[in-house]
Amino acid sequence: MRISPRPLAALLALVGLAATGCGSTENEPADETASPMGHTYISTEVVGDKIPGGGPMTLRFTDGRISANSGCNSAGGTVDLSNHILHTSPLAGTLMACPGDRGRSDAWQSNFLESDPTWRLDGDRLTLTGKTVTIHLTDKKIVTPDKPLTGTAWVVTTMLTPDAQIRSTTLDEVRPNLVIGDGGTVNGSAGCNRITGTAGVGPGDAVNFAVATTRMMCAPEVMEVEQNVLRALDGRTTATIDADTLTLRNDNGYGLVLRAQ
């Protein structure tokens, strides 16, 4: 009996299609329309030259700008993400001295980010690939979910002025802090003096502060920190929470970046 080759040919064609389908699934490209803009990422793995001091690297993308910290100073500048290449302007940073290996993390960070690494976004996972280093980062909201505004102890890490972002060893030593109670009460420290008062948490992201302090005098550099803190906590602010970081921006141009304790 003679068997027609057509069923066999059809079967082979189906097998070929199945194999092709499997291959495309395994190598499915990332969503080309996705962008890291508007998100903050924390490094979870570094392949190649490790971050001095251990990191991690934190990258924040917002309004066409990038801010970065890998264990010592924070730095920032403009960023262009075209063609899946991360191209930054020269990064300007704070000038705090850091002990040990962490003191070398700033140069490591600048060298990597200013080398035009490529980027790939797969869901919540961002991969940056440079010439000798590959960094895997995960969306901060996955690593550290948003803390609540009220009931959380917030410690100031950076002061914002109309012209600059300020970090200093004095700021790290005096650790200005505040807690907003569920009833709108405010308690904490401006750096030298104790803070008491109220915070009216309005609709959206508005928070209106009315605070007073004790009257103790401290060293001039401590009082300078305190004055900046109190300027930020004077009247209407806009509050933004990103995982464990709270940013307060006052209508007068001053502000604070705080971290959950």
Least confident of 14-18, 116-120, 193-197, 201-205: 14-18
HSE at residue 44, side-chain half, CA atoms within 13 A, is 14
Q: Which CATH architecture has domain 153-260?
A: Beta Barrel (2.40)
> Nearest 5°: phi and psi at 259?
-120, 140
Give mean pLDDT, residues 176-197. Answer: 97
* Contacts with 62 (C-beta within 8 Å, 6 or more apart), sequence order: 37, 38
Same fold, 40-143 and 153-260: yes
Is this structure's pTM higher than 0.85? no
Calpha distance 212→227 (Å, rounded): 12
Is the pLDDT assigned to residue 102 strictly greater than 50? yes
pLDDT of residue 30: 55
Calpha distance 171→258 (Å, rounded): 12
Judge: domain 40-143, CATH 2.40.128.270. yes
Mean residue pLDDT across the chain: 89
Calpha distance 248→181 (Å, rounded): 17
> Nearest 5°: phi and psi at 247?
-115, 125
Is the pLDDT assigned to residue 32 strictly greater than 90? no
Give mean pLDDT, residues 174-199. Answer: 97
pLDDT of residue 214: 97
SS3 196: strand
Calpha distance 95→168 (Å, rounded): 8
Calpha distance 78→90 (Å, rounded): 8
Encoded amino acid at 99, one letter: P
DSSP conformation letters of 160-209: E-SS-EE--HHHHHH--EEEE-TTSEEEEE-SSSEEEEEEEE-STTEEEE
Domain range annotation of the chain: 40-143, 153-260
Nearest-Å Rg of the Cα atoms of the chain is 25
pLDDT of residue 42: 96
